Structure 1
């Protein structure tokens, strides 16, 4: 089960007559928010539900998403451990002699899939902005931290109102660009992720600010995953919460984590025009 890495590899196996895939990008200019973990679990959940999925890693230098899929692909090659694996690509930005935007465009336009899921890098770049211009839905994980929140709004001006900061401005620009080019809207989910078990005054205050921002910036606020050891344990095996043989003890935490994943999937599917299926 070999992971495909270039657009030419992919184009040799799929026709170019289908450009109707629903494109989701997991994005935040700050690292460490759990983008790759969420992206991997969403991809595998969609596969288990019977959707056709193409995944793309444009955080090619770090490559967490790709290494997860490589680990999973090796597992899938063993007859006793058949697990679904998407057609996957890794694009390294600023590769000499390669037009990475064109590479991404070819993959998305010829996907022939129900969903294309893109894992973005924790920084700004031309490729990152271009990927957002192709997306139908942006999913932005954010931790309950003022450091994370500072990319959305200028906290120094909070007493004078909410002024969008660099990341929120970039999303807004892509919304306008997409609307002017195609007349289509860009949906935006902000996911409170890696939540701690015990609520704190800090997390409550961040939640209050995010609820106000949702109205001003035009996103929907949803919950993601709580901070759990199981996510660190699953990486090396390439497994997810939905695989039957995880190699870790199953308990109430495992069950709760699966419920969190289903809730996130339902939020994503409700934003798309793809027919809903049971997860």
Structure 2
């Protein structure tokens, strides 16, 4: 059996769309026939854990066959573990990751919006780090600092340093590197000048700290509509259709396909063609 690939969805800022990206990538890989394990390290929020619980419940009620990942919870009571010693949580993560890597082709890890021992441990184990960020200088500040007068890039910022440390750990332990991909989520349709400025700074920072850039997901209603059912746009079909299908859903499929291509996973996931019927 080939070695499992560990994909960490990480960004120390909340509200960047980490869980949305994680569940969509997981669903697309599952529909492509891959085996997938998921680990939710946001012990208090548990967005990914809630999503797959909703998925099981909806599939049962609708008598629908949906591909499911293998879940590896760190504790029966994640909130209690969040309040415990950080070393205990990391030890449980290490054990869960070992099991997940034996069970599946891919391990998807959703991390909390903050710097925690769990998050750092996950980053150090990653084969790929996927960082969604909103298309604004507010989110860019987490990756790089700019001059307040000229907007020239001054230096990498706090999260870039975290990834740099994770890369050093991975290289020292395994002699391999970590592929880092930054996805620009919720692209604005206006303020073209500000968007161009941001893209120029992103390109400069990418060359400096070594990440690739890719497209993210726009702020579409469909992503929020499907979440309570435990579904993604990858699941929609003539038999799985809890909401009316619109042309915007086709565009959402195209966005997901573009993300998979940017991550180099397009050959591992099914072609996401939305049925017209």
When normalised by structure 1's length, the TM-score is 0.86
> Aligned runs of 1:1-279 on 2, under 5 Å?
20-78=3-61, 80-91=63-74, 92=78, 94-96=82-84, 99-111=88-100, 112-156=103-147, 161-198=153-190, 200-243=192-235, 244=237, 245-269=240-264, 276=268, 278-279=270-271
TM-superposition CA deviations, 1:48-67 (whole Å, max 9, x none):
00000000100110111111
Q: Which moved more, 1:149-158 or 1:29-38?
A: 149-158
Q: Which moved more, 1:98-107 or 1:238-247?
A: 98-107
Counterpart-to-counterpart distance in 2, 1:94 and 1:200? 42
Please tell me whether the aligned partners of residues 153 and 163 of structure 1 are also in contact (alpha carbons under 8 angstroms): yes
- Equivalent pairs, count: 259
Counterpart-to-counterpart distance in 2, 1:185 and 1:73? 36
Q: 1:58 to 1:249 in 2, by over 3 A?
A: same
Counterpart-to-counterpart distance in 1, 2:68 and 2:138? 35
Counterpart-to-counterpart distance in 1, 2:54 and 2:270? 27
TM-superposition CA deviations, 1:22-44 (whole Å, max 9, x none):
00011100011111011001001
Counterpart-to-counterpart distance in 2, 1:247 and 1:261? 19
Please tell me whether the aligned partners of residues 7 and 130 of structure 2 are also in contact (alpha carbons under 8 angstroms): yes
Structure 2 segments unaligned to the other structure (5+ residues): 272-277
Secondary structure, in 3 states, of the residue corresponding to 1:239?
coil
Secondary structure, in 3 states, of the residue corresponding to 1:260?
helix
TM-superposition CA deviations, 1:225-258 (whole Å, max 9, x none):
1110111111111111022223222222111110
When normalised by structure 2's length, the TM-score is 0.87
Please tell me whether the aligned partners of residues 33 and 270 of structure 2 are also in contact (alpha carbons under 8 angstroms): no
Please tell me whether the aligned partners of residues 140 and 189 of structure 1 are also in contact (alpha carbons under 8 angstroms): yes
Please tell me whether the aligned partners of residues 32 and 268 of structure 2 are also in contact (alpha carbons under 8 angstroms): no
Q: What RMSD over aligned residues (CA atoms) do the two structures have, in Å?
A: 2.1
Q: Which moved more, 1:67-76 or 1:50-59?
A: 67-76
Please tell me whether the aligned partners of residues 147 and 154 of structure 2 are also in contact (alpha carbons under 8 angstroms): no
Please tell me whether the aligned partners of residues 34 and 268 of structure 2 are also in contact (alpha carbons under 8 angstroms): no
Structure 1 segments unaligned to the other structure (5+ residues): 1-17
1:19 Cα offset (Å): 8.9
TM-superposition CA deviations, 1:198-227 (whole Å, max 9, x none):
453222221121111111110000001111
1:161 Cα offset (Å): 4.2
